[in-house]
Amino acid sequence: MQEIQDYLQKEVANKSIPGAVLSVSKKGKTVFRESVGYASVYPEKKRMTTETIFDLASLTKVVVTLPLTLMLLDKQFLSLDTKVSRFVPSFQKEGKEAITIRHLLTHTSGLKAHHPFYKEERTSNIPDKIASMPLLAFPGKRVIYSDLNFILLHHIIENVTKTDLPTFANEQLFTPLNMKQTSFSPTTGSYASTEWDESTQQYLHGIVHDENARYFGGVSGHAGLFSTVEDLESFSEMVEQNGFYKGKQLISESIMKQSKQSKTEGLNERRGLGWMLKDYGYASCGERFTSFSYGHTGFTGTSMWLDPMDELRVIFLTNRVHFGRENKEIIRIRAELHDLIKRKTERI
pTM: 0.97
User: Is residue 121 over pLDDT 90?
Assistant: no
How many other CB atoms sit within 10 Å of the CB of residue 258?
Answer: 16
* Banded model confidence at residue 347, pLDDT cuts 50, 70, 90: confident
Instruction: Give mean pLDDT, residues 52-63.
Output: 98
Residue range(s) defining the domain that contains residue 292? 2-344
What pLDDT does residue 185 have? 95
What pLDDT does residue 280 have? 82
Tens-place pLDDT, residues 199-245: 889 999 999 999 999 999 999 999 999 999 999 999 999 999 999 99
Query: Strand, coil or helix: what is 300?
Result: coil
Structural domain tally of the chain? 1
What pLDDT does residue 199 have? 86
User: Is residue 124 over pLDDT 80?
Assistant: no
Task: Kindly calculate the radius of gyration of the chain based on its CA atoms and give it in whole angstroms.
Answer: 19
Please, what is the average pLDDT of the chain?
Answer: 97
> What CATH number is given to the structural domain containing 206?
3.40.710.10
Sign of CA dihedral 316, 322, 325, 326: negative
Q: Yes or no: say if 137 and 144 are a contact pair by the CB < 8 Å rule.
A: yes
Tens-place pLDDT, residues 148-182: 999 999 999 999 999 999 999 999 999 999 999 99
